[in-house]
Amino acid sequence: MAAVSSSYKDPNKTFVWWIEGDRIAIGTTEGDGGTTATDNGRLKPVQLGAGNTITDGIVISYYAEPDKYTALSDSLDIDNVLQPAIIDFVKAKALMDAAAKTENPATAQIRMASAQQCMANYKEAVRRYGMKKNDKVGGTRAIAPADLR
């Protein structure tokens, strides 16, 4: 593949993106695809000339999943304010499994109660306050009233 420079002056006017399943589509009205449905002005894939490519031509921003954790000595790929929630989750699941294995009903009940408390802590930390906990916006806000003149 041959690398070419971008000749697009303002891609905001001629490019679009959308998602379908596990794929992102990049379409443009620039260039001529050589058919009635893909001529200049109609949406189609980018036309750069056969075998040509614009190196690092696309940048996407996305909500990501944390990386897989492979060794206990590593740090977790998640904001540190959310890391205590991991302890709650792991304890909850471990206590549930331990409760299922025990033959003493009283012990099982205590473990289940502890597990439910840990899971409740986890849910509150992540599902209710996850985004608020690690968002970096702070301070007081000022509201600029609209000029109605």
Partner 1 sequence: MAAIEFTGKEIFSRVLQAVPNVSETYVLNLINEALIDMGRYTNQIENAKTDLNHNQLWYALDDDESITVNKVFRCAILNSDSEYIEIPRLTPGRIKQFYNESDTATNTSWTEV
User: CB of residue 139 vs partner 1: minimum separation in angstroms?
Assistant: 20
Q: Measured between alpha carbons, how far is 118 from 130 in angstroms, rounded to an integer?
A: 16
Which lies closer to partner 1 via its Cβ, residue 32 or residue 140?
Answer: 32
Angle (nearest 5°) at CA 36 between 32 and 38: 40
Which lies closer to partner 1 via its Cβ, residue 68 or residue 149?
Answer: 68
Q: Measured between alpha carbons, how far is 34 from 40 in angstroms, rounded to an integer?
A: 9
User: CB of residue 145 vs partner 1: minimum separation in angstroms?
Assistant: 29
Which lies closer to partner 1 via its Cβ, residue 64 or residue 143?
Answer: 64
Which lies closer to partner 1 via its Cβ, residue 73 or residue 140?
Answer: 73
Q: Measured between alpha carbons, how far is 122 from 86 in angstroms, rounded to an integer?
A: 7
How many CB atoms are located within 10 Å of the residue 142 CB?
Answer: 5
* Encoded amino acid at 20, one letter: E
User: CB of residue 7 vs partner 1: minimum separation in angstroms?
Assistant: 6
User: CB of residue 18 vs partner 1: minimum separation in angstroms?
Assistant: 4
